[in-house]
Structure 1
Amino acid sequence: MIHRVIFLLYFSFLLFLCACFSIYIIKRNVLIKTSGMAVVMALGISMQGVVSNFLGPSFFQSAFAKIIPTIILAIWISFIFSIVLSYFNGRFRELHVRNAVNRFGIGTWVAASSICGILVSKHFTEWGIIAKVLCCLNVMFWIFYIIICIKAFFEIHHNHLMKNSNGIFLLTTVSTQSIILMLHTVFGEIPKMITISLLFIGLGFYLISATFIIRRYVTNQWAIETDWNNTNCILHGALSISGLVCIVSGIAPEKVLMLLWIFTLVVFLIVECLELCRIYKRIVTYGLKKGMLIYDVSQWSRVFTFAMFYTFTSLIHLTSSQFTMIQSIILQFGIWVVLLLILSEIILSVKHGDGSPASSSLKSAMSGHRSPSRNSK
C-alpha cells in the first residue's frame, strides 16, 4: 500500500513539473536548440553512472532518491514538447534539419531518450512496459537519425564544409552505443550479434567523425581560442561509452578493455590539455568574464563526457598497479569534478536566463535566447 502511494506521489510530481515547464514553453514560445537534450544526457549519466557508483546502489533504494530521476524525466518530456511545438510552428526544419552540421545534434535526442529509458527501467519498475515501448520507438528513431547523418556526411564533403567539422559528429557513435545500453537494461540479455553489430557501427562512425575533425585542424589555419569547439570533448566521451557497452554486454576480454581504457585516457588527457590552453588564451584575449564565464548549451557535452569517463573507469577491472593507482585517483576526485561542472553550468544558465528558478533549467537550452559563448560553433 505504501509503495503504491509513493508511486502515485512521484507520478503526480512528474505531471506537475511537466505542466509547469510546458506552460512556460507555451507562454514564451521557446524552442530548444537541436543539441539541447545534452542537458538530459549529462544529468542522466551523472546520476545513474557517477552518483550511483560513488554512493552505491543502496542510496537509490530510499523513497526520496527518485526525486532527481523524476526531475530529469520532466525536463526530457518538456524538451520533447518544445521540439513538437517547433514542428507545428513551422520552424522544425529551420532549427534542426536545414544546417547539415547542426543536424548531428539530433543525436542528443536519441541518447537522452536512451538514458531516460534506463532511468525508468531502473527506478520506476511499475513503468516497465513504458520503458519497453520507449526502447522500441527510440531504436526506430535512431535508424532515422543514422540515415540523415549519412546523408549529412556526404553533403558536408560535397559542399566543402569540412572546416566546420567538430565533435558533434561523434553523436553518431554516442547515440548508437546508448541504444545498446538501453536494450541491455530494459530487455536484459539480447542476441550477441545485435550487440556486436551495433558496437562496430558506432566505432565505424567514430573513425569517420574523427577523420573529419582531425582533417579540419590539420588542413586549415585555426586559432584555439576561437576555433576549438566545446563538443570536441566527445572525442573521449564516445570512447568511454563504447567501453561501457563492452563491460555491460560482456563481449570484450579484459585485455581489450584495458587497452581501450588506456587509449581513452590518452585521448582524454590530450583533449583536456587543449581545453586548458583554450581557456588560458580566451582569458588573455577576452578577459575572465567574456573568455570563460559565458554559457552555451554545448558546454553540457563536457559534463556528459567527464561523467561517462568516470563511469567507465569505475566499472573496469585493472590489474596493473600503476593503472589501478590512476583509477583510484580518478574515482576519488572525479565525482567532485563532475559535480563542480554541473554546478557551474547551472549557475551560468541562471545568469544567462532571467534568473528565475522556473526558467533557469529550460531557458538555458532555448534557441530563442542567444549569448556569446566560449565556443558555440
Structure 2
Amino acid sequence: MASKNIIINPSSGAIIMALGIFLFVTIDAFPFLENIKLFFVFIFLYIGMLIYTLITIQLFHKDFLISLLINPVNSFVIGTWIAGISVLSNVIMKYLPEFHRFVQGIVCVNTLLWLGFLLICLYNFKRLYKKSQKYPVHGIILLSTVATQSMVLSWIPFFQQIPIKLIKIIIMIGLLFYGLGILLIIFRYSRNNWSLLDDWTNTNCIIHGALSITGLAIVSSHLLSADLILIFWLLVFILFLLVESIEIVRGIKRVSNLGWKKGIFTYNVSQWSRNFTFGMFYAFTFKIHSNIDYKSTLESLHEIILSFWNWTVLLILVIEIGIWFRSYFIDRNKITEKASI
C-alpha cells in the first residue's frame, strides 16, 4: 500500500474517528474540562481539515489510489474517511449548531462517498471470498460496517424526515458486511499458520467496535425493543472482553520479545482504531443507560462500567497522543540529527 509519493497514511481518518468520538460523548463526563471544550474542538477541526486536505491532495497521485484499490483488504481504509467525516459532522453540530446548513452539505457529499465505498466493499468482499488465502484479512474489513452505520448517525441529526425503512435497510447492510467480514476473519485465524505476536493486528479491536457503533445506530433510531437492545449490548460486551483479553496476551508477548518501546509504545496509525472502539463502547453504553426505556437488571453493571470507562478512554487517548508526539517530534528529530553528523 505504500507509495513513493505518499504524504499521509490513508488510514489517518482513524485519528478523526478517535478524537471525534471523545469530543462527541466522553468529554461530557469530565466537568473540569467544561470551560476548555471549545478549545479542543477548534484543535480537532484544524486537525480534521489538515488530514482531509492532505488525503484529497494524495488522491491526485495515481499510484496512491491504485495501491488502495488493487489490494482488497487495504481498500477498506476508505471507511475511515467516511466514518471520520460522520463523526466530524456530529461534533460540529454539537458545538457549532449555527453551521447546520454547511455541515448538512458535508453530510451529502459524504453520502456520495459512502455510495462509492459501498460498491468497492461488495466487489472486494467477492474477491476476498474467492482468494481468501492470498490476502490475510483482519479487522480493517469491518470498517465497511463502521462507515455504513456512521452514515445513519450523521443522517439522523440533519435529515429528520428520512424514512425509517431506509434507516433499517442501511443498518442491515452494515450487519451484512459485519457477517461477511467476521466469517473471513474466522477463516483466517482458524488456520494454524499464524502467530499471535506477528499476525494479530491492532485493527481486530474493530470486531467489537463495529458492533458498538451498530448498537448506537439502532438505539438512536429506536428500531429494537429494550430486551433486544440489552441482549445486543451483552454480545458486544462479551466480544469486547474476548478481543481485549487476546490483546493483553499479545501485548505481554510483544513486550517480552521486543521490549516496552518497540512492543507497545511505537507509533502506528492503526492504534487509533482502539481509541475509537473504546470510545464507541462508552458511547453505546451511555446511550442505553441514559434512556429510561432501557432500564433493567443490567443498569447496575452499566453504572459500574461508566464510572471508570470514561477515565479509561481518556487515559488511552492521552497515551496515544504522547506516542504520536514522541514519534513525530522527538524520535524523528533524533534521526535527523544523526543523519546530519
TM-score normalised over the length of structure 1:
0.81
Which of 284, 287, 310 pairs up with 1:315?
287
Matched, 1:42 2:18: yes
Which of 236, 242, 267 pairs up with 1:295?
267
Which of 97, 103, 113 pairs up with 2:69?
97
Please say if residues 118 and 186 of structure 1, whose CA atoms lie closer than 8 Å, have aligned partners that are also in contact.
Answer: no
Residue of structure 2 equivalent to 1:31: 7
Which of 45, 49, 70 pairs up with 1:73?
45
Gap runs ≥5 in structure 2: 334-341
Please say if residues 251 and 264 of structure 2, whose CA atoms lie closer than 8 Å, have aligned partners that are also in contact.
Answer: yes
How far apart in 1 are the matches of 2:10 and 2:329?
21
Residues 331-370 of structure 1 correspond to what in structure 2 (within 5 A)? Answer: 331-355=306-330
Q: Cα 1:282–1:213, aligned 2, differ >3 Å: closer, same or farther?
A: same
How far apart in 1 are the matches of 2:69 and 2:224?
36
Gap runs ≥5 in structure 1: 1-28, 361-377
CA RMSD between the two structures: 2.2
Report the alpha carbon displacement of residue 66 of structure 1 after superposing the two structures with TM: 2.0
Residue of structure 2 equivalent to 1:365: none
Please say if residues 11 and 80 of structure 2, whose CA atoms lie closer than 8 Å, have aligned partners that are also in contact.
Answer: yes
Please say if residues 37 and 108 of structure 1, whose CA atoms lie closer than 8 Å, have aligned partners that are also in contact.
Answer: yes
Q: Aligned AA for 1:229? A: T
Matched, 1:264 2:236: yes
How far apart in 2 are the matches of 1:353 and 1:226?
24
How far apart in 2 are the matches of 1:221 and 1:241?
32
Report the alpha carbon displacement of residue 30 of structure 1 after superposing the two structures with TM: 6.2
Q: Cα 1:30–1:350, aligned 2, differ >3 Å: closer, same or farther?
A: farther
Q: Cα 1:199–1:291, aligned 2, differ >3 Å: closer, same or farther?
A: same
How far apart in 2 are the matches of 1:162 and 1:267?
27
| Partner deviation per Cα, 1:32-86 (whole Å, 9 max, x = no partner) | 212111000000001112113x248x976x6x53222222222122112111222
Q: Please state whether the residue corresponding to 2:25 is helix, strand or coil.
A: helix
Range with greater deviation from structure 2 (98-107 or 199-208): 98-107
Matched, 1:239 2:211: yes
Range with greater deviation from structure 2 (242-251 or 82-91): 82-91
Report the alpha carbon displacement of residue 285 of structure 1 after superposing the two structures with TM: 1.7
Aligned length, in residue pairs: 325
Percentage of identical aligned residues: 35
Q: Aligned AA for 2:20? A: G
| Partner deviation per Cα, 1:256-294 (whole Å, 9 max, x = no partner) | 100000000000000000001101111122222221211
Q: Please state whether the residue corresponding to 1:219 is helix, strand or coil.
A: coil
Matched, 1:197 2:169: yes
